[in-house]
Chains A and B, each alone.
Chain A
Amino acid sequence: MTSRDRPDHRGYFGPYGGKFVPETLMSALSELEEAYNEARGDADFQREFQELCREYIGRPTPLYHAQQLSAKIGGATILLKREDLAHTGAHKINNAVGQGLLAKRMGKRRIIAETGAGQHGVAVAAACAKLGLNAIIYMGEEDIQRQSPNVHRMKLMGAEVRPVSSGSRTLKDAINEALRDWVTNVHDTYYLLGSVVGPHPYPMMVRDFQSIIGEETKEQVLAIYRRLPNYLIACVGGGSNAIGLFHPFFNEAQVKFIGVEAAGRGLGTNQHAATLAAGKRGVLHGTKSYLLADDSGQIRETHSIAPGLDYPGVGPEHSYYKDSGRATYVAVTDAQALEGFELLSQTEGIIPAMEPAHAIYYAAKLAADLSRDQLIVINLSGRGDKDLDIVRKLAGAEP
């Protein structure tokens, strides 16, 4: 089976995926799947998407040789895929524009979305402003507090931000609320899900829109180095930036995939979000995948310094990659991510978002033990301006 054959017609990647949603949404999911399959094969749709990627998002994003960083570590050659330079400052915009176009094509003008770090929310707000759609963004109260610059951005672009006060008041609860809204307003509403999670066809569709990251990377690395990279490294919350980078390399078995999850305050505590490293199989938000749950199957509250990784589930395709051994998943703590954050800021003058700072930390450790001819690509999935408050508070808290 090649990567293009997955998921199967029921939305499964091996034993993971599917559609575990209330009956009310089943027809809407079928309608979405049909519309997406049509759009996928429509040259006009693809042309419009490519054009927006170029003119609006600013693609292709550079594949940047981090010379200072590589030199400081003294090991492998480190390349950064600069998704932080995409419009709105993160890879999320690729999917937001893609699905925004699809919603418009389906005649749905009321767009709902969830957001954790606020990056997906900002991307949806931008795409909706650009495409003439109305955006309503669900965001946990805790995330609203810790990512306030993004809340302002969303509002400035005309989106309505609805605070979510249930549960842990983070991404998981924002998804619950968005799904409840969709169940209620399914006739005229498009749910613009931001990661490779949720019921089929979302994990497939979001992957496809994000695959532009890996496709460009492949072209760029072959053009400069005349060979494929040895490692692809990306952070994994729901897993959209990682799948976007990995997927186009699926059949290149010599290219190793490493997903970096959030170990929060440590895997030994309950305060982490390392779903693949420490979770078990189950069903959350419409999909069967690994998740973090207690002995009774209740979903656990998670913790990460990076709001975009602070999620107890993960995309079903990652679960499939884990079991099949195609990708390796590791976890990096808050403190280590902060080191990665500072390391890149100081060596390259690039302030990464706290999410990819996890990948940077891990890549730097790995690179130290490798030779210079080894190529590592890190997906620098977003920029760090949104995280300055978090970092400032941590610095202030130190003795």
Chain B
Amino acid sequence: MSHITQVFRPNYKALIAYLTVGYPDIATTEKAAITLAGSGVDIIELGIPFSDPLADGATIQKASHQALEQGITPEVCLEVARKLHQKITTPLVFMTYYNPVLNFGLEAFCRSCVEAGASGLIIPDLPPEEGEELEVATQKHHLDLIYLLAPTSTEERIATVAKRSRGFIYLVSLTGVTGARQNLPAELEDFVRRVRQKASQPLCVGFGVSSPEQARRIARIADGVIVGSHLIRLIEEDATLSSLRNFTLSLREALDG
């Protein structure tokens, strides 16, 4: 059992939170991660910024851009993970695009992730068709490669991801890019049900989540909720991070209730 799968247990809903490493600066990322760990977050996704984040909406685009301008590299992100791993026990997962990973070297990157204390990888532009090489490298180093499914995924694709995703399956709630939304689509329940019929992994829903009500709705059908862009905005708005803390606590409460 991996660090990630240990998070999921009967009658418990996981809360997964995303941070862009280095936005607005490294000290804030570290402080925010520690805050999240202490306010009911079960897994922290550390985003390694990429110059062309085509699955991301305006909020994460801007955060990535500013992080890159400050010279954030994959090496710096690994260092941040290493430090955090010494301070908190919350499993860490890297989220980034394929080119920085490929550039680092698949094998070297996986080894470095494990050395830094990370437990998994999410690569939104790497569908299973293209993921075999990285699967080999992640399995060798006992990292979970987490695949995504979307409302447009066919039954055949759901079956493939159900066979190959490790840790959990990331369900993209809507057709679109990341970013806070007022409403999640009406078909969400059907989508989760379709995946549940084929997959035995925990199912976590992300993209668009920005309120405890949405989290509660997701908790009724899925095993975890993923929140990202809204957290970035809260960090922007309130440097003391108390808004961040209050919001994640409210999500935790919604999931536990």
- Please, what's the 1-or-0 string for A155-195, where 1 marks a CB less than 8 Å from any CB in chain B? 00000000000110000100010011001111100000000
Complex contact A21–B176 (CB within 8 A):
no
Report if A222 contacts B (CB, 8 A): no
Complex contact A23–B127 (CB within 8 A):
yes
Complex contact A176–B177 (CB within 8 A):
no
Complex contact B124–A22 (CB within 8 A):
yes
Complex contact A179–B54 (CB within 8 A):
yes
Complex contact A27–B98 (CB within 8 A):
no
Complex contact A293–B103 (CB within 8 A):
yes
Complex contact A296–B73 (CB within 8 A):
yes
- Please give the number of chain B residues whose Cβ is less than 8 angstroms from any Cβ of chain A in the complex: 40
- The interface size bin for chain A is 35 or more
**Of A23, A166, A295, which contacts B153 at CB under 8 A?**
A23
Chain A residues near B102 (CB-CB < 8 A)? 281-283, 297
With A20-B130, A24-B152 known as contacts, the answer to whether A183 contacts B50 (CB < 8 A) is no
Chain B residues near A74 (CB-CB < 8 A)? none
Complex contact B153–A284 (CB within 8 A):
no
- Please, what's the 1-or-0 string for A1-33, where 1 marks a CB less than 8 Å from any CB in chain B? 000000000100000001111111111101000
Complex contact B61–A299 (CB within 8 A):
no
Report if A286 contacts B (CB, 8 A): yes
Chain A residues near B73 (CB-CB < 8 A)? 295-296
Complex contact A27–B154 (CB within 8 A):
yes
Complex contact A283–B99 (CB within 8 A):
yes
A183 to B124, CA, bound (A): 12
With A24-B175, A26-B153 known as contacts, the answer to whether A298 contacts B50 (CB < 8 A) is yes
Closest B residue to A200 by beta carbon equals B129
Chain A residues near B97 (CB-CB < 8 A)? 283
- Please, what's the 1-or-0 string for B151-171, where 1 marks a CB less than 8 Å from any CB in chain A? 111100100000000000000
Chain B residues near A22 (CB-CB < 8 A)? 54-55, 124-125, 127, 148, 150, 172
A103 to B175, CA, bound (A): 20
- Please, what's the 1-or-0 string for A287-310, where 1 marks a CB less than 8 Å from any CB in chain B? 000010101111100000000000
CB proximity of B223 to chain A, nearest CB, Å: 19
A184 to B148, CA, bound (A): 16
A179 to B150, CA, bound (A): 16
Complex contact A23–B149 (CB within 8 A):
yes
A18 to B57, CA, bound (A): 24
Among A23, A187, A284, A298: residue with most chain B CB under 10 A: A23
CB proximity of B122 to chain A, nearest CB, Å: 11
Chain A residues near B98 (CB-CB < 8 A)? 20, 283
**Of B68, B127, B149, B175, which contacts A183 at CB under 8 A?**
B175
Complex contact A186–B125 (CB within 8 A):
no
Closest B residue to A299 by beta carbon equals B51
Among B54, B61, B99, B157: residue with most chain A CB under 10 A: B54
Report if A285 contacts B (CB, 8 A): yes
A283 to B104, CA, bound (A): 13
Report if B80 contacts A (CB, 8 A): no
With A20-B125, A283-B98 known as contacts, the answer to whether A172 contacts B52 (CB < 8 A) is yes
Chain B residues near A295 (CB-CB < 8 A)? 73, 103
- Please, what's the 1-or-0 string for A255-285, where 1 marks a CB less than 8 Å from any CB in chain B? 0000000000000000000000000011111
Complex contact A183–B176 (CB within 8 A):
yes
Complex contact B52–A183 (CB within 8 A):
no
- Please, what's the 1-or-0 string for B123-135, where 1 marks a CB less than 8 Å from any CB in chain A? 0111101100000
A286 to B127, CA, bound (A): 10
Complex contact A23–B129 (CB within 8 A):
no
A132 to B32, CA, bound (A): 52
**Of B50, B54, B130, which contacts A18 at CB under 8 A?**
B130
A377 to B100, CA, bound (A): 39
Complex contact A282–B55 (CB within 8 A):
no
A residues 58-74 touching B (CB-CB < 8 Å) = none
Among A20, A27, A30, A184: residue with most chain B CB under 10 A: A20
Report if B22 contacts A (CB, 8 A): no
Closest B residue to A179 by beta carbon equals B54
Chain B residues near A25 (CB-CB < 8 A)? 152
Chain A residues near B74 (CB-CB < 8 A)? 296-297
CB proximity of A119 to chain B, nearest CB, Å: 23
Q: Give B contacts to A, CB under 8 Å.
A: 50-55, 57, 61, 65, 68, 73-75, 97-104, 124-127, 129-130, 147-154, 157, 172, 175-177
6 contacts between A and B (CB under 8 A): A22-B125, A183-B176, A185-B175, A295-B73, A296-B74, A297-B103
Q: A26-B153, A296-B73, A298-B100 provided; 4 other pairs, C-beta below 8 A?
A: A22-B55, A27-B154, A284-B99, A296-B74
Q: Give A contacts to B, CB under 8 Å.
A: 10, 18-28, 30, 166-167, 172, 176, 179-180, 183-187, 281-286, 291, 293, 295-299
List 9 A-B pairs, minimum CB-CB distance, nearest first: A297-B103, A297-B100, A24-B150, A184-B176, A298-B51, A296-B73, A23-B150, A299-B51, A23-B148
